[in-house]
Copies of this chain bind each other. A is one copy, B any other.
Amino acid sequence: MSSLSRFFDELLPVVQSDLRAVLAPPANTPVLFYRMLHYHMEWVDQDGQPVEIAGGKRIRPMLCLLVCRAVCGDHAPARPAAAAIELIHNFSLLHDDIEDRSPLRRNRPTVWHIWGEQQAINAGDALFALAHLAIPRLADGNVDGALLARILEIVDETCVELTRGQHLDILFETSNEVTAEDYLSMIGSKTAALLAASAHLGALAGGADETAQSRYRAFGENMGLAFQILDDVLDIWGDPTLTGKRAANDIYQRKQTLPVLYAMQQNPELRDLYARQVPFDDQTVGRVIDLLNDAKARQYAEELARRYSDHTIAHLTAARPSGDAGEALFEMIDRLLHRER
């Protein structure tokens, strides 16, 4: 069994119990108020009955705990930050589902789809506030107040980044002038910032010095960039039976991901197709993929992802993570970025 798998087995229950402690309903709470949150976290069904489903992958809190352990030999100091990060991630998904009008998340109806948009916006806001409360609620009474305040500052700077990324993503939906650089700026905020913060907070909580904190942060950020680019590649060229989504879903949705933006620079036909304000049918999607292949867009994106992936490894190596947790972090890179070492 790999180090990473062992750590998942050990730490996932820790994360889950921390998340449940933060979201425990106090006395005198309207029943539905917390039920919407517990449903979104995949703990209950819409009637409030417990469900047994796999739940999210919890990559971000795991990253946070592993970095902390690789820094100081113990994951415990990072538990408040790890829970906060996971709840922030879930808050952003709840609001993204409303903004994107997604009826389903992981094969279940979304919160807004069940309880309406008014309640869903408000439930997301509640989850946002509760994510912050994870820090004082899970912190040991001995933790230095200045450290708690610094953790919260990083959490909120990250939230501003997330909303910056979402702002750009929404703008790009109706723009014909998006560049590959714009796209990288968008995913830097929308995807990479939270992974950067997860690693950064783990290092901070573990007592790493500023230099090591920066290295862990850069490791998380580059891993996030590489991961998102590879995810976009997989959407188009991956095996639907492995990805769990219909093939080329992003293209059906006319998302301007990196391969598309790269190919557009060379091919006016592709630009024209995306400029048309009509849904893409199967034939158009097929044509788009042909044009992407002609432009070698897959090779371009994979090469860029490889570069971020190399940076990821270089930053983690420079940070000198120790012990089994360090080993597990390298494994996490392999797992997330489909690399063989």
Contact = CB atoms under 8 A, between A and B. Distances in A.
Given A145-B146, A152-B149, A164 B118 contact: no
A322 to B, nearest CB: 28
Interface stretch (A58-66, A124-132, A202-210, A211-219): A124-132
Contacts of A282: none
Contact of A99 (B29, B33, B121): B121
A124 B128 CA distance: 12
A111 interface: no
Interface residues of A, number: 48
Nearest to A126: B163
A329 interface: no
A213 to B, nearest CB: 17
Contacts of A119: 167, 170
Given A95-B122, A122-B99, A133 B149 contact: no
A310 interface: no
B129 A159 contact: yes
A244 interface: no
A170 to B, nearest CB: 5
Interface string A169-183: 011000000000000
Contacts of A99: 117-118, 121-122
A138 interface: no
A115 to B, nearest CB: 9
Given A117-B99, A133-B153, A146-B145, A30 B164 contact: yes
A136 interface: yes
A128 B125 contact: yes
A204 to B, nearest CB: 13
A89 to B, nearest CB: 13
B145 A149 contact: yes
A167 B30 contact: yes
A144 interface: yes
A220 B126 CA distance: 22
A136 B163 CA distance: 19
A117 B117 CA distance: 11
Contact of A125 (B28, B29, B132, B163): B163
19 contacts: A30-B171, A32-B171, A33-B163, A33-B164, A33-B167, A95-B122, A99-B121, A124-B125, A126-B160, A126-B164, A128-B128, A129-B157, A133-B153, A133-B157, A133-B160, A135-B149, A136-B150, A136-B152, A146-B146
The 8 lowest CB-CB distance pairs between A and B, nearest first, are: A145-B146, A129-B159, A145-B145, A126-B163, A148-B149, A99-B118, A132-B156, A136-B153
